[in-house]
């Protein structure tokens, strides 16, 4: 336990050196880092909103819109199922929060129920088991009516999925602003919290995330005009869409799109080669390119509509088949609006509109005060720890202090390497692991004292102290690590920051207390044996 080979000593020293190099950007000024060698780490630990200041936005999802979109998709699926089964129906529409289907023949209700119930999907998974179904299919009040509606469990699952999708989309959009320090997490069931350190003006941020940017390509009805549809009723499967501010007018389009925005592989701002006006160049993925190519080949000479957020941007006539899977969107765009819209399209559409319910801007002065208070508290705590440890354990206490310094450097190095944002809870986790590392040394040294009082020799007592105390240390640290993992898994925001710092601190504290301190004690023991035949442990 006290023997260290040359290879092991070199490995420990290289680990400490690597940690020092990785943590060094946190101790150097921006001017120094600007001239820092490119092969060395140069990015310091990013500060969180509570330390650096910035924007705090709380967004709420529109559950009614999620339900409406689901019912629209359910209506299309029900129509297709009944047509494939050759079951006639005279009406199929949304009534409140459910889908009402009127069958042409009452005797077809049993067959229709069988077909429509095939659309039901169980909730849950194979590991945890199912927890119900996503939709309910029931008989109506009369013999030729069937009712379909999302179940409560299905609606909750749909909202949770929409929240997860919105978080991914918002993250991608925010990353286009050039930061990796932002935090986007779910809060409650239908709310999303965004924290953006270092941002004082939220205007661009709100504009970037406040639009769904849902791009679709639709078929224009070949014969019925908008006026005829308004006078009578829109043909089944078609709907009147308004034009945007530049396009104007209204269009009768098929509700089911030819290609959806999720089939976009890329979108970039650009300029039209002929007119020089700002445009958006887009490219479909393989599936979207095939569908778009087939449609344009079969409908040459007919118009199709490009729709953004349920407003028609343009309705060009197909002059020839578009088989390359790419094209451009033109309109009354500015250079700035094409950049924003390209980012929104490239990051994907939001599943629902997000409404800002809370907005705060945290000034950097509060963070500066927190940092200063944290420095003072850290210095006082460090001095007190050094004095108490040295007084209590003498020379071995000094070794423990050296181990604590290595422990602190390695935590900073790991946090800097993985890009963890430092917050006030993170500082609390850092301080807590310092105390835990001291506890590990206390367990070892007290065990050595017990062995010495039992009459064992210095070498046997030291070896027993490290060998037997390490089991207790591992048990206590593993239980704390398990708690930290659960906090990271189930928590959000500040809780996760605390859990990350605590987890990294547990790993480095074991290395510092067991490996670094043991190496220093082994070196002292080797040196003491060469100077004196009788050993007296300075503890």
Same structural domain, 330 and 393:
no
Structural domains in the chain (count): 3
Which residue bears the tokens 């639009």?
Answer: 211
Same structural domain, 421 and 514:
yes
Check: CB of residue 251 under 8 Å from CB of residue 303: no
Check: CB of residue 197 under 8 Å from CB of residue 54: yes
Same structural domain, 347 and 371:
no
Check: CB of residue 436 under 8 Å from CB of residue 472: no
| Greatest CA separation for the chain | 110
Which residue segment(s) compose the domain that 13 sits in?
6-46+363-531
**C-alpha dihedral, 65 to 69 to 75 to 78, nearest 10°:** -130
User: Given 351, 382, 411, which residue is the final one in a domain?
Assistant: 351
Q: Per-residue pLDDT for the chain (539 aa), expressed as one digit of tens each?
A: 677 888 989 999 999 999 999 888 888 887 888 788 877 888 888 777 777 777 888 888 888 888 888 888 888 888 888 988 999 988 888 888 899 999 988 889 899 999 999 888 887 654 444 567 889 999 888 888 999 999 988 888 888 888 887 887 787 777 665 555 677 888 888 888 888 877 767 777 777 776 666 778 899 988 888 888 888 888 888 889 988 766 568 899 988 888 877 677 777 788 877 778 888 887 888 888 888 888 888 888 888 888 877 888 778 788 778 777 777 776 667 777 777 677 666 656 677 778 888 888 776 655 667 667 777 877 887 888 889 889 988 899 999 999 889 998 999 898 888 877 777 788 888 888 887 788 888 888 898 888 888 888 888 888 888 888 888 888 888 888 898 889 888 776 678 778 888 888 888 888 887 888 889 988 888 887 766 656 677 77
Same structural domain, 375 and 499:
yes
User: Given 330, 351, 372, which residue is the final one in a domain?
Assistant: 351
CA angle 386, 390, 391 (to 5 degrees): 120
Q: How far apart are CA 191 and CA 160, in angstroms?
A: 10
**C-alpha dihedral, 250 to 254 to 258 to 263, nearest 10°:** 70
Map residue 325 onto helix, strand or coil: coil
Q: List the CATH number of the domain containing 35.
A: 1.20.1640.10
Alpha-carbon 178 to chain mean position: 16
- 10 Å Cβ neighbour count for 112? 23
Pairing of strands 145-150, 135-139: antiparallel
Same structural domain, 438 and 340:
no
Q: Phi first, then psi: what are they for 318, rounded to 5°?
A: -75, 110
Same structural domain, 320 and 403:
no
Q: How far apart are the first and last CA of the chain?
A: 19
Q: Two tokens at 223?
A: 């014969």
Q: How far apart are CA 159 and CA 171, in angstroms?
A: 18
Q: For residue 190, what is the DSSP state?
A: T
């Amino acid at each position: 336990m006290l023997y260290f080979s040359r290879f092991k000593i070199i490995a420990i020293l290289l680990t400490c050196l690597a940690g020092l190099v990785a943590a060094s950007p946190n101790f150097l000024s921006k001017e120094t880092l600007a001239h820092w060698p490119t092969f060395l780490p140069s990015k310091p630990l990013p500060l969180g909103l509570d330390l650096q200041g910035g924007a705090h936005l709380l967004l709420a999802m529109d559950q009614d819109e999620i339900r409406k979109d689901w019912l629209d998709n359910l209506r299309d699926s029900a129509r297709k199922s009944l047509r494939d089964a050759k079951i006639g129906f005279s009406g199929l529409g949304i009534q409140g929060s459910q889908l009402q289907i009127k069958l042409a023949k009452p005797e077809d209700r049993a067959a229709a129920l069988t077909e429509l119930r095939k659309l039901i999907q169980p909730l849950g998974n194979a590991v945890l088991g199912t927890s119900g179904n996503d939709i309910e299919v029931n008989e109506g009040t009369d013999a030729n009516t069937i009712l379909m509606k999302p179940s409560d469990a299905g609606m909750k699952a749909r909202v949770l999925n929409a929240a997860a999708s919105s978080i991914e989309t918002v993250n991608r959009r925010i990353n286009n602003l050039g930061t990796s320090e932002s935090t986007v997490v779910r809060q409650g069931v239908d709310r999303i919290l965004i924290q953006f350190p270092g941002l004082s003006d939220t205007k661009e941020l709100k504009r970037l995330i406040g639009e769904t940017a849902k791009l679709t390509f639709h078929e224009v009805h070949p014969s019925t005009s908008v006026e005829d549809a308004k006078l009578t009723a829109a043909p089944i499967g078609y709907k009147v869409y308004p034009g945007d501010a530049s396009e104007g007018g209204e269009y009768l389009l098929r509700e089911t799109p030819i290609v959806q925005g999720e089939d976009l592989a890329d979108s970039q701002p650009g300029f039209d080669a002929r007119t020089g006006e700002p445009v958006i160049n887009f490219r479909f993925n393989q599936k979207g390119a095939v569908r778009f190519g087939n449609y344009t080949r079969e409908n040459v000479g007919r118009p199709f509509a490009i729709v953004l957020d349920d407003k028609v941007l343009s309705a060009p006539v197909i002059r020839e088949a578009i088989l390359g899977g790419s094209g451009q969107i033109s309109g009354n765009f500015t250079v700035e609006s094409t950049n924003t819209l390209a980012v929104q399209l490239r990051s994907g559409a939001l599943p629902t509109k997000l409404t800002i319910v809370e907005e705060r801007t945290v000034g950097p002065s509060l963070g500066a005060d927190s940092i200063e208070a944290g420095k003072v508290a850290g210095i006082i705590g460090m001095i007190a720890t050094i004095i108490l440890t040295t007084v209590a354990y003498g020379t071995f206490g000094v070794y423990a202090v050296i181990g604590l310094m290595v422990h602190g450097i390695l935590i900073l190095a790991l946090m800097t390497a993985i890009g963890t944002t430092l917050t006030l809870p993170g500082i609390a986790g850092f301080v807590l692991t310092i105390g835990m590392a001291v506890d590990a040394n206390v367990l070892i040294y007290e065990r050595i004292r017990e062995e010495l009082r039992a009459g064992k020799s210095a070498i046997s007592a030291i070896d027993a102290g490290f060998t037997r105390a390490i089991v207790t240390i591992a048990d206590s640290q593993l239980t704390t690590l398990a708690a930290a993992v659960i906090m990271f898994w189930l928590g959000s925001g500040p809780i996760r920051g605390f859990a990350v710092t605590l987890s990294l601190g547990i790993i480095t504290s074991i290395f510092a207390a067991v490996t670094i301190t043991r190496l220093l004690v082994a070196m002292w023991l080797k040196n003491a044996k060469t100077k004196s035949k009788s050993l007296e442990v300075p503890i």
